[in-house]
Every structure is written in structure tokens, then in C-alpha cells.
């Protein structure tokens, strides 16, 4: 008999939620469970950290595992993570310039995806949302008023759209390129705008989705 999860949604931390969803997605894609090392590689954390979170997920009734078997992690039947019970939401941290950089403004709001699109099975993890201002990313379909969903990361690969914090404290949404001379080019997607060339910047996250309300 399969173990069943507790009634009602569980109280999971963002890391625990990401591990739970990665285990489920991995099992769906591959037919077997990920190892702790594979989870650690995905989250870019230590295996010890993953072990601690997995133990917490087992205690909360979200995951089950057989300590004597490899690749035995699986989600508990009827486990209901909180954002799947109440509709997916991300904290709305402010507005991001797709044009000239603007100062970041924190706001105590959330983007409720269920209100915009209905129940969603979109990718989830440590995410936040920013509302776009300006048209510098227009040619990639990112328009003023859109919401970009950002995965919190401190590194990026060439060609990824990033939220970059510049040394003057301003933020901007651009495509990231590390150039041969070591400088960073933050490239707009609108020929009316010039790229921003800097020696250094702080990557606050990588864009994984764009939302638009019609």
C-alpha cells in the first residue's frame, strides 16, 4: 500500500519545493528517481544540504524513500504542495527596465498565475517576478507591462536573458554575453537601443518565462 500525504497543503520551504518538483519531473522523464548527487547538481548545493532537505520532506509526508535502495525517492500519493493547492504565485519584487536601467523598487505584491492563466503546471523553484518597463527587449517579444518570471541565480551563460544589477545600483533586463576581453555586454533586442558594456555586474537571476495579460 502506498503511503498517503497529509490532508491539505504542506508547509514547504522554497528549496524543499524545488526538490519535490525535481524528483517528480525526473521520475516522469526518466522512469526512475534521481540520486542525491543528481539533485545536488541540479540545485548547485552540497549533497549534505540535499540530504537534510530530503529528510525534512520525508518527515512532512511529501516524499518517501527506502533507505536500503538506490534511486528510491518518490512523491507520496496525494501530497499537495502549497502553491499547487492555492494557485502558483511569485513575489513581485518591482519593475525592471527593458530600456535604460532604473532603480529597483521592492513591492509587497505577488503575481498570481492562477488569476491570469488558470491552474498552471509551469516550472517552479526559487522564483520571483518583475514587471517590464521600456521596449529594449521588444524584438524578443518582451513588451512593456509584461511580467518576467526569473529564476534566482548568480551566474549566467552567454545568450541568457538576465536581471543584472549594475555598479551604480540600477537594474536592467538584457541578454548576457561575456566577451573575450573579460567585459560583459548586456545586449538589448531593439536596434534603437545601444548595448551596455560593463567590466562587472551582479546577476540576480535568469529569465525563464514571460507572462502577458490580454
- What's the chain's length in residues? 214
- What's the Rg (C-alpha) of the chain? 20
Contact between 207 and 171 (Cβ < 8 Å): no
Specify whether 136 is catalytic.
Answer: yes
Annotated active-site residue 180? The verdict is no
Instruction: Output the nine-digit C-alpha cell for 43.
Output: 540545485
d(CA 188, CA 135): 9
Residue identified by cell 511529501 is 62
Could you say which of 4, 89, 136, 180 is catalytic?
A: 136
The candidate with the shortest Cα–Cα distance to 131, out of 120, 118, 144, 122, is: 144
Residue tagged active-site, from 15, 110, 174, 180: 174
As annotated, the active-site residues are: 136, 174
Amino acid at each position: 500500500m502506498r503511503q498517503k500525504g497529509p490532508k491539505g497543503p504542506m508547509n514547504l520551504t522554497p528549496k524543499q519545493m524545488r526538490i519535490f518538483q525535481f524528483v517528480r519531473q525526473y521520475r516522469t522523464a526518466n522512469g526512475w528517481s534521481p540520486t542525491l548527487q543528481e539533485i545536488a547538481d541540479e540545485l548547485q548545493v552540497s549533497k549534505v544540504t540535499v540530504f537534510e532537505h530530503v529528510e525534512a520532506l520525508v518527515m512532512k509526508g511529501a516524499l518517501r524513500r527506502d533507505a536500503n535502495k538506490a534511486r528510491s525517492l518518490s512523491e507520496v500519493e496525494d501530497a499537495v504542495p502549497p502553491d499547487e493547492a492555492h494557485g502558483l504565485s511569485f513575489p513581485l519584487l518591482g519593475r525592471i527596465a527593458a530600456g535604460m536601467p532604473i532603480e529597483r523598487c521592492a513591492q509587497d505584491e505577488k503575481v498570481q498565475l492562477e488569476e491570469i492563466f488558470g491552474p498552471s503546471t509551469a516550472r517552479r523553484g526559487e522564483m520571483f517576478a518583475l514587471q517590464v518597463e521600456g521596449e529594449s527587449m521588444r524584438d524578443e517579444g518582451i513588451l512593456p507591462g509584461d511580467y518576467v518570471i526569473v529564476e534566482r541565480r548568480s551566474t549566467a551563460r552567454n545568450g541568457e536573458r538576465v536581471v543584472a544589477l549594475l555598479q551604480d545600483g540600477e537594474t536592467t533586463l538584457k541578454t548576457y554575453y561575456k566577451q573575450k576581453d573579460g567585459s560583459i555586454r548586456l545586449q538589448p533586442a531593439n536596434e534603437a537601443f545601444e548595448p551596455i558594456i560593463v567590466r562587472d555586474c551582479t546577476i540576480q537571476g535568469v529569465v525563464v518565462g514571460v507572462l502577458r495579460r490580454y
